[in-house]
Structure 1
């Protein structure tokens, strides 16, 4: 197969308030649109949104003047599936069943594979997902805790972490499978992963709020204080406490802000309270990076800061001062979901990588 062949790939990233789509010719973005959901669609149950989201996607492409039959493949954002190793997976019926039955939880990302699969089937195309949040390459010892029957879970920003790790490997003149990299994804959640020779062998579960605090998550807390929180009359249900710790803690709680851009504005204004909160966050992230350096036995080719909070230079500089003795630090701000999905699909179409099979092991 010629590497000069141009493949046209539709990528789909469903969000709570919108569906992001893009069309790539190989890894060149030729069209991108953020399809905002109407209030009527927003009020539907998650899985009732499939048909209107799908129709909006096809309409957007048709309105562009692009023939749907010109597509070579479709890739959706992976959702809360059973734990799997990293890579590109061809979407199959078992995957769809697991997403619909919420085998590992209900989340808007579950719609990515479903939308890709249904649109692709109508066009007789293959559909894929790439590195979903449930990528699990952790060792047994990394999953173990002080309570034998409680195991740590691998849920993290796998798509962007692996994407930027591959980008750094190319920059260093190596393959991803030849490098040891620590990636800190800084966003609504913070995940810091130890990438050893192409596998993420340890990472904090930022989805549940383990590790450093983030924009909205509390991070790890002292056990006794957490138990006291459960007995607090203001947290009279487990669901209310989860909401507080996962969606209303971190920088949100420190600074009473609603969006990451609000934090950036406060830092630009040199707001004292914002700077103090960022210092605490930076300290915790740097400490987590240090832990992952130990996991990699001190053999670290580079450290990456990525995600939307990596746009804050003050935060980056704080972390770099703490960890640059471990290895050089590189910044890749933002979340490169659409390009990462396209690249993962392209590797399969070009024969550089074989699509994996999603199955019950």
Structure 2
């Protein structure tokens, strides 16, 4: 067993923040969430042009943490919207760097993670990686085909956290992830529920494409005919329809908030419609879990509830009441993505798994 202490810098950019962590093996020795001023980001002109600003702030974080750059063994970044690939830890090679620099990757700040990680890694002569990007695609053929020829399902989901919590639960219960059958429900601003079969996510709803349960801000699956009518009504542009499905529907459209804590307060004050909306959202998550249990032929080693909504006892109790007879339910609230990134890098540094080439 490798007893060396490895130091890893993990970088996770979001739309208005950059989260950073420095790890000594699995222990986080420094962590920061850098909040970016909207006007400062807008002045960059594009997400791609934010690289210099964010890189300088990441390096400032490392310096203020009192960590010598020369002590780092690797830099790991959140994967952006790149081509579909299998789960794993990938070296940031020139091809990936090129793909992170063009659309569709450049529409989201997560693409900057790989670019910044590669730049810092190269300057220090150490490896740079990404781990389980949102485009992890391990669908079985039956999950890919649809009823309209020429339209196939592809996955964009919370792969990083879903895979990480699955591995952690397996470790806790003495199983190998690669030999387990699990259903993982990541529940946040979007909800993705995946069937994990022997280390591969063979089916999962793509929340950003309008599949699965509705969430605090996304529509989930809705009847197609009314959507088609809306598209041709002349009232909405294509961009407005996309925003409606991904950002402006779900719980907030019903009761005016994306915050489940506020929804619970409304319920406590006697708002019966808020109660119906929250219970229905949980009902839909439970129904999707049931569907993924069917994907696994009903043989399920565990159901994992994770993401921000998993902190809510009210919400998770609704779900557990419907699914706990299917398999043991494990609670992993929140999403520790910095640790998940570090774990992916550490597995390669320790030679527990092979690094993959993009």
Scaled by the length of structure 1, the TM-score of the pair is 0.95
Give yes or no for contact 2:217–2:258 (8 Å, CA) kept in 1: no
**Is there any run of 5+ residues in structure 2 with no aligned partner, and where?**
none
Structure 1 residue 209: Cα displacement: 2.3
Q: Which moved more, 1:39-48 or 1:8-17?
A: 39-48
Give yes or no for contact 1:41–1:52 (8 Å, CA) kept in 2: no
Q: Secondary structure at the match of 1:227?
A: helix
**Is there any run of 5+ residues in structure 1 with no aligned partner, and where?**
none
Q: Secondary structure at the match of 1:184?
A: strand
Structure 1 residue 207: Cα displacement: 2.1
Q: Secondary structure at the match of 1:252?
A: helix
Give yes or no for contact 2:48–2:106 (8 Å, CA) kept in 1: no
Q: Secondary structure at the match of 1:207?
A: helix
- Counterpart position of 1:340: 340
Structure 1 residue 266: Cα displacement: 3.5
- Counterpart position of 2:35: 36
- Counterpart position of 2:163: 162
The 5 Å alignment of 1:1-361 reads 2-43=1-42, 44=44, 45-103=46-104, 106-235=107-236, 237-267=237-267, 269=269, 271-358=271-358
CA distance in 2, matches of 1:103, 1:248: 21
Q: Residues 156, 270 of structure 1: CA spacing in aligned structure 2 closer, same or farther, 3 A cutoff? A: farther
Provide the aligned C-alpha RMSD in A. Answer: 1.4
Structure 1 residue 264: Cα displacement: 4.8
Q: Secondary structure at the match of 1:125?
A: coil
CA distance in 1, matches of 2:14, 2:81: 14
Q: Residues 112, 262 of structure 1: CA spacing in aligned structure 2 closer, same or farther, 3 A cutoff? A: farther
CA distance in 2, matches of 1:311, 1:110: 29
Structure 1 residue 251: Cα displacement: 0.8
Structure 1 residue 137: Cα displacement: 0.4
Structure 1 residue 65: Cα displacement: 2.1
Provide the aligned length of Structure 1 versus Structure 2. 356
Structure 1 residue 257: Cα displacement: 1.3
Q: Which moved more, 1:349-358 or 1:36-45?
A: 36-45
Structure 1 residue 250: Cα displacement: 0.5
Q: Residues 65, 330 of structure 1: CA spacing in aligned structure 2 closer, same or farther, 3 A cutoff? A: same
Structure 1 residue 270: Cα displacement: 5.8
